Amino acid sequence: MATIPEGFIIPDFGPTTSSASPTAQVSGSATPAHAGPRKMAFICSKGNLDMAYPALIMGNAALGEGIEVHIFFTFWGLDIIHKKTNRNLKFTLSGNTAMHMPDLGRLRPGLEHVSMPQSLGNLPGMTSFATRMMKQQMADLDIPDVPDFLDMISAAGAHLYACKLTFDMMKLIEADLHPGVEGVISATDFIEISEGAQIVFV
Amino acid sequence: MPTNTLGGRSFEVNDEGFLTRRDDWSEELAVDLAALIDLELTDAHWAALRFMRKDTEGGTPTPTLRRMQTVGGFDIKELYRLFPGKPAKKMAWLAGLPKPVGCV
């Protein structure tokens, strides 16, 4: 490896480059900092379309930064890695008061910030309509759909696990899981695996 | 803006070390930069870097890994193997482009 000249500014590429500066030492903290390389663990507990993306997007970003990523799918989150459901995750207006219609602003300025009435969410067909719209908006930004996203992060080295308790409870079979899933593991297993990780619960 | 000097060439970079003027870049410079991060550029590396240079000719943002896959036809796993650790950042830096800003 060539030596980096004096005063040369080089991006932080992590431990693979000699420019990597040791991470700031946590001083005065009661809990000892994890000594190893940075690691992140996500827990996906929800199966709505809009709740599938946070962990996938952040996990993908973390992988791109050279961070070790583990994702644990539990309860309704299992729908994200189940091959018979993950292509058809839904988005609903019901219970979501942050739902706005940008187009309404053209009718009268300010209307685009108004919450959609909750009763609209219960109209027949509204969930499929809202789902279709969200999928279209995602596709416009070239964000992969859920199965493709799983392929992508598996290729990037993400470790995916299904929760054993809910897997048994829902009577699933392993053949139905996305091939990137490494195993069906218990909560204790996950706690062991995620030692030293920053944990994000979705 | 700081200036980096490498092998007799000087070029302006931003605070993180990414080239600020894409025209300062040359393939010879990429080879020298790659040596700094312990990479030897093979044809596979060049295919990715050349695609990125071409893709951004019109002033479009630095491609993300997703765009490398969908538009360039590159395999994500392969890119992680070729540019280990932080592939998108390493590729952008070697291709003399700004750090990629896209989320996916």
Residue type, A83: K
Q: Do B5 and A8 touch (CB under 8 A)?
A: yes
* pLDDT value of residue A145: 93
- Which bin fits A9, alpha (ψ -120 to 50), beta or left (φ > 0)? beta
Laid out side by side, the sheet with A39-44 consists of A181-185, A159-163, A68-73, A39-44, A198-201
Among B2, B28, B87, B96, which residue's Cα sits nearest to residue A9?
Answer: B2
The residue among B15, B41, B66, B79 with the most chain A CBs within 10 A of its CB, best to mutate, is B66
Identify the bridge partners of residue A118 per DSSP, sorted by sequence position.
none
Other C-beta atoms lying within 10 Å of the C-beta of residue A197: 18
| Residues from chain A contacting residue B80 (CB–CB below 8 Å) | 63, 155-157
Residue B19 lies in a domain: no
Nearest chain A residue (CA) to B85 = A66
Structure tokens at A155: 């290729």
| Residues from chain A contacting residue B86 (CB–CB below 8 Å) | 13-14, 64-66
| Residues from chain B contacting residue A12 (CB–CB below 8 Å) | 16
Residue B12 lies in a domain: no
For chain B, give me the number of helices (H) and strands (E)?
Answer: 5, 2
CATH topology for the A36-87+145-202 domain: Hypothetical Protein Ychn; Chain: A, (3.40.1260)
SS3 call for A193 = helix
Total CB pairs under 8 A between chain A and B:
86
Residue B72 lies in a domain: yes
Residue B3 lies in a domain: no
Q: Do B5 and A4 touch (CB under 8 A)?
A: no
* pLDDT value of residue A71: 97
Q: Do B2 and A9 touch (CB under 8 A)?
A: yes
| Consecutive 10-residue averages of pLDDT for chain A (202 residues) | 83 63 50 75 96 95 94 96 94 90 88 90 91 92 93 95 94 93 95 93 95
User: CB of A1 within 8 A of CB of B34?
Assistant: no
Residue B77 lies in a domain: yes
* pLDDT value of residue B3: 85
**Total count of domains within chain B:** 1
Q: What is the ipTM of this complex?
A: 0.86
CB proximity list for A85: less than 8 A, separation 6 or greater? A47, A79
* Residue that the structure tokens 């030596």 belong to: A3
Nearest chain B residue (CA) to A65 = B86
Nearest chain A residue (CA) to B14 = A9
Q: Which domain holds residue B63?
A: 26-95
Active-site residue B103, yes or no? yes
* pLDDT value of residue B5: 84
User: CB of B68 within 8 A of CB of B50?
Assistant: no
- Asked if B54 is an interface residue toward chain A (Cβ–Cβ < 8 A), one would say no
| Residues from chain A contacting residue B55 (CB–CB below 8 Å) | none
CA distance B30 to chain A (A): 13
* Residue that the structure tokens 């993180």 belong to: B16
For chain B, list residues with pLDDT below 50. Answer: none
Domain segments of chain A as ranges: 36-87+145-202, 89-143
Residue B14 lies in a domain: no
Q: Which of A9, A14, A60 sits opposite B86 (nearest CB)?
A: A14
d(CA A177, CA A55): 18
